[in-house]
Structure 1
Amino acid sequence: MTTTITDLVGAWRFVSAEEVFADGERRAQFGPNADGYLSYSANGIVTAVLGSTTRPASGGAGPESATDAEVVAMARDFIAYGGPFTLDPETDTVTHHIDIALFPGWQGGEQVRTFTVHDDILRGRTLQAVSPDGRSLHVELTWSRVLA
């Protein structure tokens, strides 16, 4: 079934993100306790915010009072980005064209996913990548539509 922009538009709540390695190992990308949202707008903008809910907290009231070490620890298992998106219905591929991101190296780049929508579940898969230890992997993502 071909995914359309109409299928994607709306807000989605994080269900899971599992790293799948070529050697068969599978593990939760953000650990056992993760949450987040993915939102596709009708005017072609995507925003994604997701990560571990057990990240260490800062001793301060806000980001301006956090130490550099605390900021690094808080960002380690967290992703946030936004920008335009395009859909290729021939391949059921959505490309997120990133304008702003927690990781500046992503800005100006793209995140490509294959996605399928069945009922109120959105399933995606990243392209193959290489982990820091040199192993090949992809990530399988599952989201549940946020109903009004």
Structure 2
Amino acid sequence: MNLIHRRRLGASAALATMLLATTATAAEPPLAGTWALTAADRLAPDGSRSRDYGVHPKGRLIIDGQGRYSLQIFSGERLRVASGDKATATPDELASAAMGSSTHYGTVAVDTAAHVLVFRIEGASFPNWEGTEQRRKYVLTADSLSYQVPTPRADGSVPISAWRRER
């Protein structure tokens, strides 16, 4: 392989990496970065919106330049484990910990045609999500990202997450 061909391949690889770190259009900012949770809500079938992870949810979403991500959402009102030992937690304490958190990691990409984020989930606190792909409609600005989980829950509500870019 000659020097010119190697330079072209290198430039092509750099361009591909740069495109992955950006989103659907040139007008949108890059998706890569660190995001702080600002809302973890649910949209009811009647259009009303309410808190899903308590009054003071907390969380972090980190996306690197290659599209790898790690996401954590926690209810601010989870019960503390009185014994201080997870192995001896009460059923209520364990339920609060499980139902008051949502974590997963894998890769995320942007489907420009459908304007959706495509999460390919490798590991999750909810094991049924592992090995799945989830497509979520999103809105992205320079400092905010929000998206909806695609499938309504049994009660018909749809989870919505909102994030603020950390600088």
TM-score (norm 2): 0.75
1:21 matches 2:44:
yes
* Structure 2 unmatched runs, 5+: 1-22
The answer for the alignment partner of 2:12 in structure 1 is none
Aligned residues: 144
- Which of 141, 149, 154 is the equivalent residue of 1:132? 154
The answer for the alignment partner of 2:140 in structure 1 is 117
The answer for the alignment partner of 2:14 in structure 1 is none
Hey, what's the Cα distance between the residues in 1 that align with 2:132 and 2:104? Answer: 11
Higher mean C-alpha displacement, 55-64 vs 2-11: 2-11
Counting only pairs closer than 5 Å after superposition, residues 24-43 of structure 1 correspond to structure 2 as 24-43=47-66
**Larger strand percent:** 1
* Structure 1 unmatched runs, 5+: none
Relative to structure 1, is the Cα distance of residues 79 and 90 closer, same or farther in structure 2, using a 3 angstrom cutoff?
same
Hey, what's the Cα distance between the residues in 2 that align with 1:21 and 1:122? Answer: 20
1:49 matches 2:69:
no
- Which of 72, 80, 89 is the equivalent residue of 2:103? 80
Structure 1 residue ranges, 4+ long, deviating more than 3 angstroms after superposition:
1-6, 60-69
Hey, what's the Cα distance between the residues in 1 that align with 2:147 and 2:112? Answer: 14
Q: Which has the larger radius of gyration?
A: 2
Hey, what's the Cα distance between the residues in 1 that align with 2:66 and 2:86? Answer: 31
Q: Which has the higher contact order (CA 8 A, sep 6+)?
A: 1
Kept after mapping to 2: 8 A contact 1:3/1:115: no
SS of 1:8's partner is coil
RMSD: 2.3
Seq. identity, %: 24
SS of 1:30's partner is coil
Kept after mapping to 2: 8 A contact 1:3/1:92: no
SS of 2:30's partner is helix
The answer for the alignment partner of 2:3 in structure 1 is none
- Which of 95, 110, 119 is the equivalent residue of 1:96? 119
Relative to structure 1, is the Cα distance of residues 69 and 29 closer, same or farther in structure 2, using a 3 angstrom cutoff?
closer
